[in-house]
Structure formats: structure tokens, C-alpha cells
Structure 1
Amino acid sequence: MQDFAGQDMGVPYSRDLFGRLQQAACDNQQGVNVIGTVDDVPVAGAFFVWDRRKMYYLASGSHRDNRETHALSAVLWEGIKLSVEKGLAFDFEGTMLENVEPHFRSFGAVQTPFFSVWRYGSRVARMAATARGLLREV
């Protein structure tokens, strides 16, 4: 949660929701938490889930006082190695944060653009979506 606070962002999900997601994925042997430590003290962690084809980098965080240890990079690398062991492709799940994208590329990630297409049936719905910034006229 420190990472969100450090970026002046609110956490976009509840602890309860994330905890239930972790529990369900781990119970079904389709998820794992990887923790990075320095002198046996946890300083970074990531949660990975997978299906039959891919392993997904779902969430991570690190203690801001230990960023220079690069523990989060080590944790991410362990997730990538685990995907190889399982014979799965690794999916970074993308980011809109400009400082994160170069970090993903340093692991050999290839940027894959994707699009979302929405159809709004009424003029009022289209105006509301435009006002919320969800729709741009092109």
C-alpha cells in the first residue's frame, strides 16, 4: 500500500477483495506470492497468477526505504523464471506509468498495444461517458 501512497494514489481495490483473490488463486494452485528480503526482512513482494497459457504479474510493492536493493526486480525475475518452469508465457499486464514501462522493457518485455471498444446506445450515455473522460470523439 506504500507504493500507492508514494504516488499520491488511492488503492484501487479493497484489502478484502485482494485477499480473497489471493486465497482463491493459491487454493486452486494458480497463484503465488513471491517475497524479497534483505537480511531476512521482507522488503518487496509480488503476486502472480496463471492460467493454461500465461502467467500474469498482477500486483507488487516494495518498501520505499529499500528501493536501492532492487529487491522488487529480483522478485519479478523469480516470477519470470517460474513461468518458464511451468512452460507459460509471462505477461507484465502493462502499465500507464511512464517510469515503470522502461523497467518492464529492461526484462525484454515487448510493448503490445490493445484497444477497448465501447458502444453507447443512447446520446445521453455517450455524453456521460465523454464527460467522465471515457470516450473521445475521433
Structure 2
Amino acid sequence: MKQKRYAIVAILAIGFSLAACGESDPVVPEPMFDSPSTVRVVNRLLGPVIRFFARPCGTSDWGSDLFGTDHPVEGTIQPGGQRDFTVEAGCYDFRVDHLATTEPGPIIMKMLFNQAASPVTPVVWTLEDDPVDPS
């Protein structure tokens, strides 16, 4: 009879600890890469980068924003800043969406195609504003 009580107590303890775990934010594991590479986005624009996408060369779907957050500060690269992203080594097209200035305004898209990301050589994409034509 004692063994049965201990088993019930153990089951209840496990159940309560699992229930308590369900109340906290879930831990999202970092993706695992067999051959990781780094993509560094350097922002020399007048406005913040608000989204960053990568897709394998030759595909059409941009997939999810690589910032992976809806937080307005963590999900940006401010002017003068930079951020590193980890991708699997391979050929990629990249896209950023950025604001024209630090004030709310139009969203501008920039793309970079056919970039080879390898574990040895990271991709560095320096974003700069397009020169204004004086004519």
C-alpha cells in the first residue's frame, strides 16, 4: 500500500512541475547548422532596418523575418549599427526592409543576390543610401 501512495505522490509532483513549466514562456532552441556561416548586415542608412530575409538562390519564397522578434528595438538595426545572423553555408539572396529616416515614413526594400556564404568567409552586406541625382 505504501508503494501505491509513493507512486501517486510522485505522479502528482511530476504533474505539478509540468503544469508550472507551462506558465512560463517556451524556450525556442537556436537552429542547429551542420555548416554554419555568418551574414553581417551593416546599416549606414538614414533609417533603421526593420526586417531581414534570406532565401536560397533560385527560390522565390522569402520565408520568415530573420530578426525573429516583434520587439520594436530588438527587431531593428539602427543607423550606424550592425547585426550578425547565422545561416547554413550555401548560396543566398538577401532582402532588407528599412525606413527612409528615423521618423515613421515609407518602407524601402533593398536586395542582394547570389551571395556565397561559407564557414570560412562570412557575407558582409553594407547598406548605404542611394546617392541623390543632382540633375
TM-score range (shorter-chain normalised) is: under 0.3
Which of structures 1 and 2 has the larger relative contact order (alpha carbons within 8 angstroms, sep 6+)? 2
| Larger proportion of helix | 1
Larger Rg over CA atoms: 2
Of Structure 1 and Structure 2, which has the larger fraction of its residues in strand?
Answer: 2
TM-score by length of 1: 0.23
